Structure formats: C-alpha cells, structure tokens
C-alpha cells in the first residue's frame, strides 16, 4: 500500500512552472491547473477550510486580493459560512472606497476596498494565490486595518521566499499560512 501524499506535495505536483514568463529568467508558478481538476481543487480548498474551521482561527470575513484571491477567498468564505470582501485594483469598485498604493519591482500600483466592506473589530482572513514581494498583501492589510478590522492571518497557495515577501510580512507582525514553498 502506498502512503498518500501530503496535501502540499500533492498540490505542488499540479502547479505548472512556466520558464521565462513574463520576462526572461522568471520561473512563473501557474496555479490554474489546481483549479481545472475538480479533485485537486477540492484538496486545495479543503486545506484552507480545515485550518480555518478551528475556532481560534475562524475569521468573521474573508478578503481576497485581485484577482486569483477572489477565486480562493470566495469559495473558502462560502465553505466557512462567512462573508467575502474583494480588494480590487484601482478604479474597479463602484462605491466609496479607500485606496492604498504600493511599490512594485518597476513602478507602483494601487488597490481599493469599499468603505463599508468590514466593520471595526472584525477578524479577517486575507487570501491570495501567491506571495512574492508581499506588496499586494501588505497593501490589503493596511486597507482592512484602516477600516478597523483585525487581519488575523494572511494565506496563500504559494510562497516564493527568495523574493522576501513572506519574511517582510511576518516581520510586520502578520502571521502567514502557505501550502507550497519554492525555496
């Protein structure tokens, strides 16, 4: 009898590496194969849901970062029976918003959140597909905290620690949970 793979090893087998995309030298970690196979997608979602069903880690709301964080976050929120909040790229939300600008490798970007997305004191799980430099997750956290929410943890499928984002996020005091790390 063969021992079943740990969830992280199983998921890693379904992450596609695309060399030299979007620029030469980059090894792009493509999570779309995780979403295409219903069995793999279930393992992915269950890995998050089982963690956050624990009363000590259960959020009041899940916030997902544009755009793949929407896919994960909305399904995790549904499974946990809590609300979902999208954190969008600038100019995509129709109501009154708060905005946070962050630095990218070349230039800057901004994300926005509706001013009524969370209430003061709510415990929020902030989720995205991948942590690279950490800029997007840090900006999302700042937005949520400006509205009075408590970001209890940041979560992602993939961590790229060599880019320093997970270290910076942890140093800022944000606990992180990731499923697959590419050292």
pLDDT digits (tens, 9 = 90+) for 65-97: 999 999 999 999 999 999 999 999 999 999 999
**Is the distance from CB of 23 to CB of 39 less than 8 angstroms?**
no
For residue 118, is pLDDT > 60? Answer: yes
- The pLDDT of residue 51: 97
**Of 29, 79, 88, 105, which one is the catalytic site residue?**
105
Q: Chain-centre distance of CA 132, in angstroms?
A: 11
Average pLDDT over residues 166-171: 98
| Torsion sign (Cα): 130, 134, 135, 141 | positive
Mean pLDDT (whole number) for 102-130: 93
- Confidence (pLDDT) at 30: 97
Nearest to 102 by CA among 46, 165, 39: 165
142 is catalytic: no
pLDDT of residue 26 exceeding 70: yes
Which domains, from first to last, does the chain contain?
56-181 (3.40.50.2020)
Average pLDDT of the residues in 53-66: 97
Residue 105 annotated among the catalytic residues of the structure: yes
User: Looking at residues 20-32, what average pLDDT do you find?
Assistant: 93
Section 6-31 average pLDDT: 95
Output the CA torsion sign for 64, 131, 108, 30: negative
- Catalytic pick among 12, 29, 68, 88: 68
Q: Give the pLDDT score at 4.
A: 65
* % of the chain with per-residue pLDDT over 90: 92
Give me the pLDDT at residue 103, please: 84
> The whole model's pTM is what?
0.95
Residue 115, pLDDT score: 98
Residue 9, strand partner residues: none
**Strands in 20-161 per DSSP E:** 27-30, 61-65, 83-89, 97-104, 107-114, 123-131, 150-159
pLDDT reported for residue 27:
93
Residue in the structure block whose two tokens are 């209430």 = 119
Specify whether the CB–CB gap between 112 and 92 falls below 8 A: yes
The CA distances from residue 95 to 46, 86, 90, 121, in Å, are 33, 13, 12, 22
């Amino acid at each position: 009898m063969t021992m079943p793979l740990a969830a992280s090893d199983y998921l890693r087998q379904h992450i596609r590496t695309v060399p030299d995309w979007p620029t030469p030298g980059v090894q792009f970690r493509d999570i779309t194969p995780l979403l295409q196979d219903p069995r793999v997608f279930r393992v992915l979602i269950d890995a998050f849901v089982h963690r956050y069903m624990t009363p000590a880690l259960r959020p009041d709301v899940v916030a997902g970062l544009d755009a793949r964080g929407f896919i994960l976050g909305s399904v995790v929120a549904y499974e946990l029976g809590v609300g979902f909040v999208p954190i969008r790229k600038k100019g995509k939300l129709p109501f009154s918003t708060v905005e946070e600008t962050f630095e990218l490798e070349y230039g800057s970007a901004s994300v926005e959140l509706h001013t009524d997305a969370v209430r003061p004191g709510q415990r929020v799980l902030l989720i995205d597909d991948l942590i690279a430099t950490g800029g997007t997750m840090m900006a999302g956290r700042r937005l949520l905290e400006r509205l009075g929410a408590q970001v209890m943890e940041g979560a992602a499928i993939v961590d790229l620690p060599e880019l320093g984002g997970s270290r910076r996020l942890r140093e800022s005091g944000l606990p992180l949970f990731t499923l697959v790390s590419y050292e």
